[in-house]
């Protein structure tokens, strides 16, 4: 006789199923996105982004020959004999005046220079300085007399009004000085981004952006320095600042303005005298687009 086996009344827990192993990472490459750029600008290849993928930094675009073109422009500008060199905003203030007055005169010359040749702006600034080109001096001059001092500057009546209103703001809010920021400068009547960036560079000695006038706008488009042709100065400024090294921002305005005044003119450009003949893609613009920016 053998004893019956003992049976436990306590049920043992069932073993838990093994944890699922993480899925193996996919070895499939992400699809490529290929874009053909304009002629002479090469090929852009990048990965398409998928949800959950980390951001992929693509290579920064830049014009293929810009360094050669810039070196040629520096060579052509070496004599510094363009109108901007001896009649631009950097020369239109009184060197011996107090610093706030010098800064104010720089701003005034920039305000007058819009859609006006440097020769006309310089002559108007000479009359204003002889009259008294200070905030208080402008405010004490009646509108009719101020207009006579500004004529024949382009849109002189409108600019006379802007100048008086700007002087009132400077007197009430800035103790007769000019703002030391782009935001403050563009808040003044008649002051746009181009004037603000140039005023920051010339008056305050700080490079805040590229000043783009009609010459910089035209030359940049002709040289192929923009990924796509732009129609406004602000588009050109944004496109240039996107790829041009910041160390060159303060120089490029002076270089391209003088180059545009002497060689790459809006009508009948002197291409036969330009050192960039072999590397200028201006054939992309049949007959040469004539861009005009105030």
- Please list the active-site residues: 194
Distance CA(16)–CA(39), nearest Å, equals: 65
């Amino acid at each position: 006789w053998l004893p019956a086996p003992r049976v436990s009344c306590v049920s043992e827990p069932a073993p838990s199923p093994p944890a699922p192993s993480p899925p193996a990472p996919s070895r499939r490459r992400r699809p490529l996105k290929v874009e053909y750029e304009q002629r002479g600008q090469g090929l852009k290849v990048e990965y398409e982004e998928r949800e959950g993928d980390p951001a992929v930094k693509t290579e920064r675009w830049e014009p293929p020959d810009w360094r050669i073109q810039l070196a040629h422009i520096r060579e052509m500008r070496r004599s510094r004999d363009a109108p901007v060199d001896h009649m631009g905003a950097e020369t239109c203030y009184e060197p011996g005046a107090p610093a706030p007055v010098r800064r104010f005169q720089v701003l005034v010359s920039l305000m007058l220079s819009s859609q006006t040749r440097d020769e006309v702006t310089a002559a108007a600034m000479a009359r204003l300085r002889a009259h008294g080109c200070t905030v208080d001096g402008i405010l004490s001059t009646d509108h009719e007399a101020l207009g006579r001092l500004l004529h024949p500057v382009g849109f002189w009546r409108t600019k006379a009004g802007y100048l008086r209103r700007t002087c009132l703001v400077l007197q009430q809010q800035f103790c007769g000085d000019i703002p030391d920021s782009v935001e403050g400068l563009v808040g003044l009547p008649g002051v746009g981004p181009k004037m603000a960036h140039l005023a920051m560079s010339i008056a305050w000695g700080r490079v805040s952006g590229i000043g783009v006038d009609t010459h910089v706008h035209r030359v940049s488009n002709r040289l192929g320095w923009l990924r796509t042709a732009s129609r406004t100065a602000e588009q050109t400024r944004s496109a240039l600042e996107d790829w041009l090294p910041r160390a060159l921002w303060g120089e490029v305005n002076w270089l391209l303005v003088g180059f545009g005044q002497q060689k790459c003119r809006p009508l009948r450009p002197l291409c036969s005298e330009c050192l960039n003949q072999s590397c200028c893609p201006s054939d992309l613009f049949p007959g040469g687009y004539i861009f005009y920016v105030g």
